[in-house]
Amino acid sequence: MTLSGVYVPLITPFDAAGAVARDALEALAHEVLGAGAAGLIALGTTAEPGSLDRAEQATVVDLLARVCRDRDAPLLVGAGTPAALGALRGRPAVTAALSLVPPFVQPGEPAVVAHFSALAAASPVPLVVYHVPYRTGQQLSVETLRRLAALPGVVGVKLAVGAIGTDTVRLLADPPDGFAVLGGDDTVISPLLALGAQGAILASAHLATAGFVELADAWRIGDATRARALGHRLAELSAALFAAPNPTVVKAVLHAQGRIPTPAVRLPLLAPDDETVQVVLARLAALAGVSTPARR
């Protein structure tokens, strides 16, 4: 399987009673796919999965699986334990699982490889490793990423290391065959795509979806002039969206746009202040008002 393009890790909208707003979630899924997103992520960290009970998690996956099946789009599901992966068995609409590097315990790089080897052997779907060391506490060298890429059943990595360092450059200079590198740090996605990342998983792409798709397409065809200009503006948007913990600002802006019924998040998250939301709305307006250079 080949993963490329822009994937949107969908939020979980809530209604006024605090329940999952199914209609709003379905509409969001259709909107971002209609704007050119390659696929969707269900139960990613942007979806607040830790605050959802099992029934709510199943509701989200069922709904997004139906949308992706109807639109012939890939669906990745956040799942990093044998039990969570087992729940994906018998779901043909699920393309792969997005599996986090074990957080907090810092098991060491050999143990991370052993962990994913065992997960992949037991999983009914291929795995995409979610590497985000500033959250998990576990660094991975380029050599370890290559070892993970060589595991049967591991098809890619969501690379969110917080910066573009030597290991990232080395990985993208000689990417493993059949292994997709998907950028996961929204503010630096343009340089990652320029270096050769095949795609991205971006919470920011709930908003200005078509712009992020255009950015990925521009770097893919080598239109650096168009990509640089658009990338700078989208980085400013992403920085504003992450000025408070994700997905609080994304939800507040989607609510302000009338796309979800409430901006509600569940504890331990709190709503952002209004000034933060207004900054994003202003940047969206500016982005919409500036045309990108013509395609060659």
Coil, strand, or helix at residue 263? coil
124 and 82 in contact (C-beta within 8 Å)?
no
Q: Which of 7, 134, 158, 251 is catalytic?
A: 158
Angstrom distance (rounded) from CA 202 to CA 191: 14
Q: Where are the alpha helices (DSSP H) in 5-154?
A: 22-34, 54-71, 82-86, 109-122, 133-136, 142-149
Angstrom distance (rounded) from CA 212 to CA 225: 15
222 and 291 in contact (C-beta within 8 Å)?
no
> Are β-strands 39-42 and 96-100 bridged in parallel, bridged antiparallel, or unpaired?
unpaired
| Beta-carbon-side half-sphere exposure of residue 191 (alpha carbons within 13 Å) | 12
249 and 278 in contact (C-beta within 8 Å)?
no
Q: Which residue has the tokens 């989200």?
A: 60
Residue 158 designated active-site: yes
Angstrom distance (rounded) from CA 255 to CA 265: 12
End-to-end CA distance of the chain: 30
101 and 111 in contact (C-beta within 8 Å)?
no
Burial 173-191 (b: 16+ CB within 10 A, else e): eebbeebbbbbbbbbbbbb
Element (H, E) at 211: helix 209-221
Q: Give the count of beta carbons closer than 10 Å to the beta carbon of residue 216.
A: 26
Residue 251 designated active-site: no
Residues with a catalytic annotation lie at 130, 158
